[in-house]
Amino acid sequence: MSSLQPVRGTHDHLPEDARRHRDVVDTARAVVALYGYQEMSTPIFEFSEVFKRTLGDTSDIVTKEMYTFEDRGGDTVTLRPEGTAAVARAFISGGLQQQLPLKFFLWGPMFRYERPQKGRLRQFHQIDIELLGIAEPMGDVEIVAAGAHVLEALGVLDKTTLELNTLGDTESRDAYRAALVAYFEGHIDRLSADSRERLGRNPLRILDSKDEGDREIVKDAPVFADHLTQAATDYFARVREGLERIGVSYALNPRLVRGLDYYCHTAFEFTTTELGAQGAVIAGGRYDGLIQQMGGPPTPGIGWAGGIERLALLADKSLDAPRPVALVPIGEAAEATAEILAAKLRHAGFAIDLGFRGGLKRRMKDANKANARVAVLLGEDELARDGATLRDLDTGEQSEVSLASLEDALVPYR
């Protein structure tokens, strides 16, 4: 393949794609600001240990999908495959414990080496919110509600289903893990090689297996709800009651799990059937043990991430570029005047398309190509009268205005 092609699993964001992606980001930013989330960002690469310690040495992301390399200083670094671990690292290294609770919004590119398909890329982009320092069920309710609000603002909430489950507390998780191990050991001869390896280290990850044989076995596996402590049951009940109070509908999914030990209590996904195999558009959960596992102070946390590419596909709307005012100078003297006017009008907040070359016909063709709303014609006759001709490019109507009043005359076309 030509080296002048984009790398497999990446693509260019030309203006239409860029507008659609910006619409997702801008919409999410505006919505979560209503909940008090403030924008931050982290580097797109971190020391590899940040992700190995948080995602688990046996996870597919770490063993198969991370872009990891040694830099010129001999450090092993990784392009970030997800945002939460990077936020937790920023919390620890920034010494932010005294500022809790913290509400963060971030967005940007993530990187995973996996088979590209619709809605899944090797360089993909996510929006992400994280709530640190709140251990109460109200935090879970707010996080889920913010996700639903973003989807509603994008016009796609009715295309999704909120799937909800609980991962319980540590005692619940230990009991469930023991039940899973006992169950899967009874079917060990039928498990895939990957799942047999996971059985001793992290049996919950078998529940995520894509192997068809594993999936058949998983159908009859124990469910988490049967191994919850009373405290965990009560916590989940309060989350569900909170969502019901504010009108956020959900469907219980007892097979929705997170395989890492720092996850607990609420796990959720907004899924859709409109994007083929890539069903989740927003996924999140509570991760009270994460920051402590990374070497920081015990700090509760919960958050979610949404795939920008998937959300843009689901929204499936074309966003028009702003329609500019076209300045159409005819002759050298008019070009000089047009340059002055373009600078003045742009500083006044008008989008200006300035014709660079050609006669009237060529420049008007360029104005139409730019989808201009109105053309300002500057010829010798107009300049002699210290004026300009305004031509409405939708209606064809024309009028002459003085240059002194041009800015006011263009206000309806802003």
What local confidence, expressed as pLDDT, does residue 53 receive? 74
220-252 pLDDT, tens digit per residue, is 899 888 999 999 999 999 999 999 999 999 999
Asked if residue 388 lies in contact with residue 378, where contact means CB atoms within 8 angstroms, the answer is yes
Say whether pLDDT at 58 is over 70.
no
Domain edges within the chain: 15-169+229-315, 325-413
CB atoms within 10 A of CB 132: 24
pTM of the shown model: 0.86
* Per-residue CA distances from 143 to 192, 264, 268, 307, 335 (Å): 36, 15, 10, 16, 55
When mean pLDDT is compared across 56-70, 101-115, 135-149, 280-294, the lowest value belongs to 56-70
Sequence-distant (≥ 6) Cβ neighbours of residue 300 within 8 angstroms: 132, 133, 134, 135, 139, 286, 288
Instruction: Read off the pLDDT band of 199 (50, 70, 90).
Output: confident
124-135 pLDDT, tens digit per residue, is 999 999 999 999
Residue range 15-169+229-315 in CATH 3.30.930.10? yes
362-383 pLDDT, tens digit per residue, is 999 999 999 999 999 998 888 8
Asked if residue 307 lies in contact with residue 107, where contact means CB atoms within 8 angstroms, the answer is no
Asked if residue 311 lies in contact with residue 157, where contact means CB atoms within 8 angstroms, the answer is no
Candidates 306, 285, 311, 316; CA nearest to 126 is 306
Candidates 166, 111, 95; CA nearest to 137 is 166
* DSSP secondary structure string for all residues of 309-373: HHHHHHH----PPPPPEEEEE-SHHHHHHHHHHHHHHHHTT--EEE--SS-HHHHHHHHHHTT-S
What local confidence, expressed as pLDDT, does residue 56 receive? 61
Q: What is the DSSP letter of 120?
A: B
For the segment 52-69, the average pLDDT, to the nearest whole number, is 70
Euclidean distance between CA atoms 265 and 286, whole angstroms: 6
For the segment 45-57, the average pLDDT, to the nearest whole number, is 81
What local confidence, expressed as pLDDT, does residue 62 receive? 59
Euclidean distance between CA atoms 266 and 138, whole angstroms: 11
- Cα Rg of the chain, angstroms: 28
Q: What is the DSSP letter of 65?
A: I
What local confidence, expressed as pLDDT, does residue 63 receive? 59
**Annotation: CATH topology of 325-413:** Rossmann fold (3.40.50)
When mean pLDDT is compared across 43-52, 60-69, 163-172, 364-373, the lowest value belongs to 60-69
